[in-house]
Amino acid sequence: MDIIKILPKHVSNQIAAGEVIQRPASAVKEMLENSLDAGCTEIKLIIKNAGKKLIQVVDNGCGMSKSDVKKCFIRHATSKIENAQDLFNITTMGFRGEAMSSIAAIAQVEINTKLTNQETGTYLRNEGGKIYELKESSTTNGTSIKVKNIFYNVPARRNFLKSENVEMRHITEEFTKIALANPNIKMQLFHDSKELFHLPISNFKKRIINLFGNKKNESLVPVSEETSIIELSGFIGKPETAKKTRGEQYFFVNGRYIKHHYLQHAVVKAFEDLIPSKYYPSHFINLKINPKLIDINIHPTKHEIKFEDEKAIYAIIRATIKRSLGIFNIAPSLDFSKENAFELDFKNIENTNFKQPTIKIDKNYNPFDHKKNNDQNKTQNKLDVNTNPLFDDINLSENLNVPFQIGNQFIVIAIKDGIKIIHQRRAHKRILFEYYTNSLKHKNGKSQKLLFPKSIELNLKEISLVENLKKELKSLGFIFKLKKQNMEISAMPAECREDNIQEILEEILHQAQNDIEIEINQTQKIAKSLANSLAISNSKQLKIEEINSLYNELLKCKVSNICPSGKSIIKNFKIEDLKKYF
């Protein structure tokens, strides 16, 4: 009995669509790239209900003929390539001919388009991959494409879409990538009738500033290099602007945004010793390379790319960035300035009065008086013991069970059958995590009002994250207002310090951003972020009262042996274990 079946066309199209169109932002990317390939100078992106209800792209490009409008929905129908060899000489954004067929398979699509040399245009309506209407229309030059009710015929896929804030954040990110790569094109983004971006034609630097705020102007450092392999240009951020959150790291190859962890590592290595570990410098880097030396046909979304000589490009990027940091006096340099204290005026050395050094002598010292010398040595030894910080707060002769610190990292407690060693920072993380989880649950976080409101600059992606976390942040004690690219804080949790408020918020946003795809309880995300930010350091010396308090609070925790990151807090060593070392 035969068991292999040929899938119906509409089913195979929906399966193929799943590879290309994963969410509304995927459709936005493909539609914007089609507009770019049409040679437009203006693009308008209109979004409703975070793309679930409507995605509309309007451009002033070359438009399509009546015949081409019908063909654009046929899978693998493309004007970009004719044979396999063309794949290695691609200069356009699209080339597979999958975008429109994939979008039409899972949405209701309307196209209104007109060629520049025609008096009338063409209107077409396609639903689920079937053409229902095709007629002449009166429209302007270019193309307007409406994508309505995405995944309307695949309810399971629609149910997997995230909240409006999350989906809109992905759409904004795709818009940002296209806008950065094409500063020579006027671009606008509207969401629910509100204009989020109005980007005039400009140069690359101005486009970055228009997208990420005016303060970016002060922190951008130009990078430039031209070699036989690649031509590199763009900007990097100064080390002090590096953040814990990713989000301002952009590579463009021949005008196309790419993800490339190996090249990303080259940037981080160039900033070595200038920024803390696990911080990410911002960069906006354009690479121009011969299309024959790259392969962009390795993933349906075309975000990934293969280079013929990755190691050489890595070295060029790293060296170019290091050079720019040096040219603009950002990298540390050796100070060869003279110390005046060691300067001698040799011309007038004869007239200089030098003071004779004085030597203190103990006239009562007798090297043959052994009793007196032994008493002095005992006194000195006693002083040496008493000044040792390890025993500052502990009288060993009175109580051997008093907990104490070693290496300013661990707390040691003697128990009946051995010792207990506690990692102090992880212990404090666990205490804070449970405290903030409880505060969020009962919405009883305590606030301290700031004397003057503190303004923190955020990009649009970070503003969207804060919007998504607004309720939780207020439950913790944050009181704030959101402006276009600013967060104005008037009160913060009582446990926070004003000088580290920005670091705390960055940690919260970093945690929230990394857990977008993993549906972790929002409360736990925030509590974990605050615990990471506010926990004591591994180098903090604790007083005996602080050690006791930390240990007692740890014992009250529901889970006392594992920190929020899943690492162990306590290790027990029995006497039998200790004997093995002797």
Q: pLDDT of 213-257, one tens digit each?
A: 888 888 899 999 999 989 999 999 998 888 877 778 999 999 989
Can you tell me the distance from the alpha carbon of 91 to that of 80, in angstroms, rounded to the nearest whole number?
9
> Per-residue confidence at 337, pLDDT binned at 50, 70, 90?
very low
Q: What is the pTM of this model?
A: 0.67
Hey, where are the domains in the chain?
A: 9-201, 206-327
Find the length of the chain: 582
- Taking only the tens place, the pLDDT of each residue in 476-507 is 788 888 877 788 888 888 777 777 777 778 77
Q: Check pLDDT > 80 for residue 1.
A: no
Q: Could you tell me which CATH number the domain at 206-327 has?
A: 3.30.230.10
**What residue type is 298 in one-letter code?**
I
Give the span between the Cα atoms of 320 and 177, in whole angstroms. Answer: 23
**CA 78, CA 96: separation in Å to the nearest integer?**
7
449 class by beta-carbon count within 10 Å (0-12 exposed, 13-18 middle, 19+ buried): exposed
Whether 318 and 269 have beta carbons less than 8 Å apart is answered as yes
Sole residue written with tokens 């102090």: 424
Tokens of 524: 């736990």
**pLDDT surpasses 80 at 398:** no
What's the chain's average pLDDT?
A: 80
Extended beta strands in 379-472, E state = 404-406, 410-415, 418-423, 447-457
Lowest mean pLDDT among 145-159, 244-258, 332-346: 332-346
Closest of 332, 333, 328 to residue 219, by C-alpha:
328
Please state, in angstroms and rounded to a whole number, the distance separating the CA atoms of residues 401 and 399.
5
Q: What percent of the chain has pLDDT over 70?
A: 76
Is pLDDT at 377 greater than 90 in this prediction? no
In contact, 20 and 26? CB cutoff 8 Å: yes
Q: What is the pLDDT of residue 89?
A: 56
Return the pLDDT at 230: 92
| pLDDT tens readout for residues 281-336 | 999 999 999 888 887 765 556 667 888 888 999 999 999 999 998 887 665 544 44
In this predicted structure, the answer to whether residue 418 has a pLDDT above a threshold of 90 is no
Q: Which residue has the tokens 């008093």?
A: 402
The answer regarding whether domain 9-201 maps to CATH 3.30.565.10 reads yes
The pLDDT of 378-393, averaged and rounded, is 41
Number of H helices, E strands in the chain: 18, 22
Report how far residue 305's alpha carbon sits from residue 230's, in angstroms, rounded to the nearest whole number: 15
Token digits of residue 494: 């009582």
Specify the pLDDT at position 240.
85
pLDDT, tens digit, 9 for 90 and up, residues 157-180: 888 888 888 899 899 999 999 999
Q: In angstroms, rounded to a whole number, what is the distance separating the alpha carbons of residues 349 and 43? A: 78
